[in-house]
Structure 1
Amino acid sequence: MLLKKQLNQTSRHSIVSALEIGGVKIAKDDVVRDDPTNNVPDTIFTKLGLQLHMRDQHPLGILKNAIYDYFDMNYSTKFVKFDDLCPIVSIKQNFDDVLVPADHVSRSYNDTYYIDAQTVLRCHTSAHQAELFRKGQTHFLVTGDVYRRDSIDSTHYPVFHQMEGVRVFSTDEWEKSGIDGTSYAAIDLKKCLEGLARHLFGAVEMRWVDTYFPFTNPSFELEIYFKEQWLEVLGCGVTEQEILKRNGRENNVAWAFGLGLERLAMVLFDIPDIRLFWSTDERFTSQFSEGKLGVKFKPFSKFPPCYKDMSFWISDAFTENNLCEVVRGIAGDLVEEVKLIDNFTNKKGMTSQCYRIAYRSMERSLTDEEINQLQWKVREGVESKLKVVLR
């Protein structure tokens, strides 16, 4: 309701920076605001609406469609597909509806992008699960871009793509099997996902690892033995009965899984850096074709990195995620990694940290002048926004 009110207000004004996702019109002022409860930078707004997973010739789109093919072949098109749901959701949708505890770290401003105190950019596609239950959906796949404040390195990016899968069972389905509903759902889940892993990776060795998620019980992670190492493929489990009960499904059981498309695509296509998924360079985009899963990426160049170190005294309020947000906001995708290389506390109890920033473009060589200017702006931004004392 809050979002609709805001959208109605902004629609009266002529705003150039506007887009539409899933039938919802979104203006920049709906997402990036001068508000103490807002921590969404311009760089994140520019990623909204790009929908990489909907591009059939993009690695993420190719992978998504390959997963769709598996479910269509094995479940006679039972699974309804949603890949254009609006990523702006309420706190209730993102956390409460999937039983994320009130004190869970993911609720913090350090980890999540808040539009206001009650509205966020979704952290996971599970944010739509309860709503779809209430609409009567029993077999569905939800794919979309998700947003998390995170570290900077070759495998982490503040925007990535997830797929959520859910299947609901009726009482009749498990009672005739002679086992309880939870066991029935868990057996079916594992059978389904082992088949998916074979569909994507071939005849690989697999293993199940018990884990914990707030929204499933029991919960599992599926790992495959790929290129001589164990690789986590996805997380899953039997949906907590409380979620079903709250959404009119108290007589059912269900399973759910979630996987990161970038994580799998980097393995399947041999893509070494997560920033490449956002590249518009034809030397990258031309290597992939619709329906061609697992074509190995051929590096078109490897430009040298430039390293710059920055040391400062921190306060109790300092976090590495905030540092990464400042650096990314200034350097964008030219920053490859931000890494803590030194940490010490003096006799007065003051703590100093030194971070090494690696600058590298995926498409061209950076000049010394360009890097020096970036580093100077980063130093200024870190000092003014994070209230640290540079050394």
Structure 2
Amino acid sequence: MYWFLADHVSRSYNDTYYVDAQTVLRCHTSAHQAELLRRGHTHFLVTGDVYRRDSIDSTHYPVFHQMEGVHVFSPSDWEASGTDGTTYVAGDLKKCLEGLARHLFGAVEMRWVDTYFPFTNPSFELEIFFQEKWLEVLGCGVTEQEILRRSGKTDDVAWAFGLGLERLAMVLFDIPDIRLFWSNDERFTSQFSSGQLGVKFKPFSKYPPCYKDVSFWINEAFTENNLCEVVREVAGDLAEEVQLIDNFTNKKGMTSHCYRIAYRSMERSLTDEEINKLQWNVRELVQSKLNVVLR
């Protein structure tokens, strides 16, 4: 992963799927930037499947499709502007992506959020107001200069963005749950068989959710992503959401978390027997894999 050390955030065990100590599943298409820059490309798109350990809700899934875009600028591009290269390139980046959002979604409400990414500085997220809340649709920023330097472009400045194609499609087609992209239900797939961009998703009958809570005393190594991986291991796509609903610390300094798990199939009603078995297995695995104490 570029020039990052083993303890760099981009290699975090909390966010990345490790096949073994030396191999990870691709967690971002940025992994291909350096190679393409070394080949002499100065503006390009890269699209591929990526894998991340993440939360469980309607907009997150452990595998999705990312499109990476890069544009390299030389000093002659910004010298006449009266600004430095970073300011010029960041402004061009935002203008370009705002234009993309308006082209795709029309007069949609959007906002920029300052953030941190390991490959860009400064870094930003573009959010779209969707289903009565703000939805992040892409991350971007000015490429870290070390990446360009190692690619032989010492004097240049570049921007890069990475957007989740499923999230763009959710906004474009009014799709409420990212799990639907992985469903074989013909009531979903048949709506998009024409390949037309103007199609809007027509909701079909939703099966009822079932909620189960699990409470435990956490340890210093606990992370919510690890809990979500345990839930996914047991329930797969039957887990619709995992939400922290309560936490407290007792007089001895021990902290307890209570999580509510929503189980729901996209294709059928789940029986009480199925749900109870899933929840029992979740509790057993949470205790053994995360080394926490159930309450």
Tell me which interval the TM-score lies in, with the shorter structure as reference length: 0.7 to 0.9
**Residue among 215, 219, 242 paired with 2:146:** 242
**Is the CA contact (8 Å cut-off) linking 2:16 and 2:24 kept in structure 1?**
yes
On the 8 A contact 1:101/1:214 being kept in 2, the answer is no
Secondary structure of the residue that 1:329 maps to in structure 2?
Answer: helix
**Distance (whole Å) between structure 2 residues aligned to residue 179 and residue 226 of structure 1:** 35
Secondary structure at the counterpart of residue 208 of structure 2: coil
Bigger shift: residues 195-204 or 270-279? 195-204
State the one-letter code of the partner of 2:229: E
Amino acid at match of 2:70: V
**Do the aligned partners of residues 249 and 332 (structure 1) sit closer, same or farther apart at CA in structure 2, a change above 3 Å counting?**
same
Change (3 A) 1:230 1:324: closer
Letter in 1 for 2:31: A
Give SS of 2:192's match.
Answer: coil
2:286 is aligned with what amino acid?
V
Q: 1:194 aligns with which of 73, 77, 98?
A: 98
Q: 1:381 to 1:238 in 2, by over 3 A?
A: closer
1:318 and 1:295, CA in 2 relative to 1: closer, same or farther beyond 3 A? same
Point out the more displaced range, 375-384 or 159-168. Answer: 375-384
Counterpart mapping for 1:92-111 below 5 A = 92-93=1-2, 96=3, 104-111=8-15
Alpha carbons 1:223, 1:231 under 8 Å: kept: yes
Residues 10 and 118 of structure 2 are in contact (CA less than 8 Å); yes or no, is this contact kept in structure 1? no
Match of 2:187 among 254, 269, 283: 283
Structure 1 residue 286 displacement after superposition: 0.8
| Residue correspondence of structure 1 range 18-29 to structure 2 within 5 A | none
Q: Distance in 1 between matches of 2:13 and 2:190?
A: 38
Contact kept, 8 Å, 1:121 with 1:146, in 2: the verdict is yes
In 2, distance between residues paired with 1:182 and 1:346?
49
Match of 1:152 in 2: 56
Q: Deviations over 1:264-314 (max 9, x none)?
A: 222221111111111011111111145422522111111111112222233
Matches within 5 A, 1:1-391: 92-93=1-2, 96=3, 104-175=8-79, 180-204=84-108, 207-223=111-127, 232-289=136-193, 291-391=195-295
The 2-side partners of 1:216 and 1:172 are apart by 22
The CA RMSD over aligned residues, in Å, is 2.6
User: Residues of 2 paired with 1:289 and 1:160: CA distance?
Assistant: 20
Tell me by how many angstroms 1:112 deviates.
1.3
In structure 1, the residue corresponding to 2:269 is in which secondary structure? coil
Point out the more displaced range, 269-278 or 233-242.
233-242
TM-score by length of 2: 0.88
Moved more, 289-298 or 226-235: 226-235
**Could you tell me how far 1:213 is from its partner in structure 2?**
3.3
Indicate if the aligned counterparts of 1:144 and 1:163 stay in contact, CA closer than 8 A: yes
Looking at structure 2, the residues matched to 175 and 290 of structure 1 have their Cα atoms a distance apart, in angstroms, of: 48
d(CA) in 2 for partners of 1:190, 1:317: 38
Q: 1:301·1:363 contact (CA, 8 Å) conserved in 2?
A: no
Give the SS at the match of 1:371: helix
Equivalent residue letter for 2:46:
V
Provide TM-score, normalisation by structure 1: 0.68
- Structure 1 Cα separation of the partners of residues 129 and 241 of structure 2: 28
SS at match of 2:92: helix
Paired residue for 1:15?
none
CA distance in 1, matches of 2:24, 2:252: 39
1:232 Cα shift?
Answer: 4.2
CA–CA distance in structure 2, aligned partners of residues 310 and 164 of structure 1: 38
Aligned-pair CA distance for 1:174? 4.2
1:172 Cα deviation from its structure 2 partner: 4.4
Shift of residue 341, structure 1, vs aligned partner: 2.2
Provide the C-alpha distance between the structure 2 equivalents of 1:191 and 1:345, rounded to a whole number of angstroms: 47
Q: Is the alpha carbon distance of 1:353 and 1:212 closer, same or farther for their aligned partners in structure 2, counting shifts above 3 Å?
A: closer
Decide whether the 8 Å contact of 2:17 with 2:52 is kept in 1. Answer: yes
Kindly state the Cα deviation for residue 118 of structure 1 after the two structures are TM-superposed.
2.7
For residue 348 of structure 1, what is the amino acid of its counterpart?
A: K
Inter-CA distance 258–290: structure 2 relative to 1 (3 Å threshold)? farther
Shift of residue 215 of structure 1? 2.6
Equivalent pairs, count: 295
Structure 1 contact 155–273 (Cα < 8 Å) conserved: yes
Q: Which moved more, 1:108-117 or 1:184-193?
A: 184-193
